[in-house]
Amino acid sequence: MKIAMIGSGYVGLVSGACLADFGHEVTCVDKSAARIAALERGEMPIYEPGLADIVASNARAGRLSFTLDLAGAVAAADVVFIAVGTPSRRGDGHADLSYVHGAAREIAAAVDGFTVVVTKSTVPVGTGDEVERTIRETNPLADVAVVSNPEFLREGAAIADFKRPDRIVIGLEDERAREPMAEVYRPLFLNQSPLLFTSRRTSELIKYAANAFLATKITFINEIADLCEKVGANVQEVARGMGLDNRIGTKFLNAGPGFGGSCFPKDTVALAKTAQDHGAPLRLVETTVAVNEQRKRAMARKVFQALGGEVRGRTIAILGLTFKPNTDDMREAPSLAIIQALKDGGARVRAYDPEGMEQARPLLEDVTFGAGPYDIAEGADALVIVTEWDAFRALDFARLRRLMTTPVLIDLRNVYRREEIARHGFRYASVGRPGEDG
C-alpha cells in the first residue's frame, strides 16, 4: 500500500519506518526543511535504539522517503496517517489540537479518490469527529473515511512494540475503512496480534484510559514506597508480592521519582480536563497528576537528608537526566524538578546522561555537564542516580570512593543494595526500603 505519514517526529518516524519494513511504500512528511534534509542524510532527530538502521535499510530499498510536499504525498496515498504533536495547551492543560486540524485542512485540499485518513496522534475523545468535519468543510468533495488508530509505543522499545504489539486498536465509523486498515497491519497477522475494531470515540478513549491507568499504577507504588519507609517494609518485595497476582502484574510497579516523558504527564492532564468538561470528573486521575508533581521535587529532600539537611555549597553529581533509559527525551523528566530543588537549596550541580545532555542543556542553567560518571563524581559530596541507564548498574565504587569528597549515594531507582554499597564505605539512601539513610 501507499502510505503518507504526516509528521516525522517520534511517532511518525517510528511508525513510518516500521510500516515500510513491512513492505509498504511510505512517504514521511514534515514542515521542517532541516529535519527532512537530516533524515535524507540518515541523521535521526531522536534517539531510539535500532531506528537509524531500519530507516537506512528501507530508504535504500526505496520503500521509505521523506518530503516537504504534503500535497503530493497525500494525493498518491491510499492511507494517510496524522502523526503530529498534541502538546498540552498553555493555560488550561487541554491537548493542543491546532497541528491536527492544520494537517486535516491540508489533507482535505490534496486527497485524490477514496482515502483513509488515520489519526495516529494522541487526541481527546471526539477529535475524529472534528477532523472529519474539518475535511468536509475544507473540501466537500473529499471522499475520505476518518479512523482512529492510537499508538502504544514505549520510548526505548518502540520498534519492538510496533512489530510485536499487545493490540492494534482501530476506531471507525465508515466500514469502507476496515479492509484498508486490515491490509496496513496484515504483516502482523503471523504474530497473531489482536486487531480490535471499535467505534472511533471508543478508540480515542482507550489510549487515554490506558496511559492514565499505568500512570496511576506508578503513583500508587510510589506512595506505597513512602509508607514502606515509615513502617520498615521493603517496597520491592511488596511490589513483587503484588505483581505475582496475575490480575495486577509486575510492570509499572517500580518505585522511583515519578513519571515523566511525552505521554503520561500530558495525557493524564488532558483526560482529567476532558472528564471535567463532560461533567464526569476522574478524581483518581486528578490525584495521580497532583501526587506525581509533588513527588519529583520531594525526591530532592532525600539528598538533603542524606547530607544532614543542608546542601548549600555542596557539590551534587546527578547520574541520568532523561525521564527513562534508552531515550534522549527530557520532557517532564523528574531530573528537572530535582535539580531545580537542589539549586534552590544552594547546591552546585553536575550531571551526566548517556544520550540526553544535548536536550538537557537548554533546560538546565548553571549545571556543569560531564563526560561520564567518574568525571562528575570527582570532588562531589553526593552521587544521585535519577535514571537507571545500564551504564550505571555496575559502577566502580572503589574508584568513586577515591574521587568523591563525601561517599554518599542516593539511589532513586533502587539499582543497588545497601550491603554492597556499604562495603565500599558509602552512606546509602534509596526509595521505600528499610534501614536506609535518608
Segment 338-392, tens digit of pLDDT = 999 999 999 999 999 999 999 999 999 999 999 999 999 999 999 999 999 999 9
Angle at 205 between CA 183 and CA 262, to 5 degrees: 90
C-beta of residue 202 within 8 angstroms of C-beta of residue 271: no
pTM of the model: 0.91
Alpha helices in 253-282, H assignment, sequence order? 264-277
Q: Which domain holds residue 368?
A: 199-438
Position 91 pLDDT exceeds 80: no
Same domain, yes or no: 171 and 257? no
> What residues form DSSP beta bridges with 29?
6, 67
Q: Which residues are the active-site residues? A: 263
Same domain, yes or no: 298 and 171? no
Supply the pLDDT for residue 437.
47
CATH number at residue 152: 3.40.50.720
Q: Which long-range contacts (CB under 8 A, 24 or more apart) does 433-438 make?
A: 433/228, 433/229, 433/234, 433/235, 433/236, 434/228, 434/229, 434/232, 434/233, 434/234, 435/232, 436/229, 437/305, 437/306, 438/302, 438/303, 438/305, 438/306, 438/410
- Kindly state the average pLDDT of the residues 174-195: 90
* H/E stretch holding 382: strand 382-385
Same domain, yes or no: 203 and 185? no
Supply the pLDDT for residue 438.
44
Sorted by sequence, the CB contacts under 8 Å of residue 385 that are 6+ apart come out as: 319, 320, 392, 409, 410, 411, 412, 413, 415
Position 83 pLDDT exceeds 80: yes
Q: Is 56 exposed, middle or buried (0-12, 13-18, 19+ CB in 10 A)?
A: middle
Same domain, yes or no: 220 and 162? no
Supply the pLDDT for residue 190.
74
First and final C-alpha spacing in the chain: 58
- Taking all residues of the chain, what is their mean pLDDT, rounded to a whole number? 95
Position 307 pLDDT exceeds 80: yes
Same domain, yes or no: 161 and 25? yes
C-alpha–C-alpha distance, residues 410 and 427, integer Å: 8
pLDDT (tens digit per residue) in 222-232: 999 999 999 99
Sorted by sequence, the CB contacts under 8 Å of residue 333 that are 6+ apart come out as: 260, 261, 321, 322, 323, 356, 387
Same domain, yes or no: 140 and 289? no
Amino acid in position 140: P
Task: Name residue, grid cell 503513583.
Answer: 219
Chain-centroid distance of CA 141 in Å reads 38
Phi-psi region of 150 (alpha: psi -120 to 50; beta: other; left: phi over 0): beta
Q: Which of 127, 162, 196 is the last residue of a domain?
A: 196
Q: How many domains does the chain have?
A: 2
DSSP code for 117 = E
Same domain, yes or no: 209 and 128? no
Distances (CA, A) of 252 to 215, 236, 239, 290, 379: 8, 12, 9, 18, 35
- Kindly state the average pLDDT of the residues 177-197: 89
Same domain, yes or no: 231 and 119? no
Angle at 295 between CA 394 and CA 360, to 5 degrees: 60
Same domain, yes or no: 245 and 291? yes
Q: Which long-range contacts (CB under 8 A, 24 or more apart) does 230-239 make?
A: 232/434, 232/435, 233/432, 233/434, 234/432, 234/433, 234/434, 235/414, 235/431, 235/432, 235/433, 236/414, 236/432, 236/433, 238/432
pLDDT level of residue 435 (50, 70, 90 thresholds): low
Pairing of β 144-148 and β 2-6: unpaired
C-alpha–C-alpha distance, residues 134 and 106, integer Å: 10
Angle at 147 between CA 89 and CA 204, to 5 degrees: 45
Supply the pLDDT for residue 94.
86
C-alpha–C-alpha distance, residues 176 and 30, integer Å: 28
Q: Which of 139, 165, 196 is the last residue of a domain?
A: 196
Supply the pLDDT for residue 92.
79
Chain-centroid distance of CA 42 in Å reads 23
Position 88 pLDDT exceeds 70: yes
Same domain, yes or no: 173 and 240? no
Task: Name residue, grid cell 526543511.
Answer: 33
Same domain, yes or no: 381 and 401? yes
Supply the pLDDT for residue 29.
97
Same domain, yes or no: 57 and 146? yes
Position 105 pLDDT exceeds 90: yes
Q: How many C-beta atoms surround the C-beta of residue 22 within 10 A?
A: 18
Could you tell me what percent of the chain has a pLDDT over 70?
Answer: 99
Position 96 pLDDT exceeds 70: yes
C-alpha–C-alpha distance, residues 60 and 64, integer Å: 8
Q: Which of 141, 171, 196 is the last residue of a domain?
A: 196
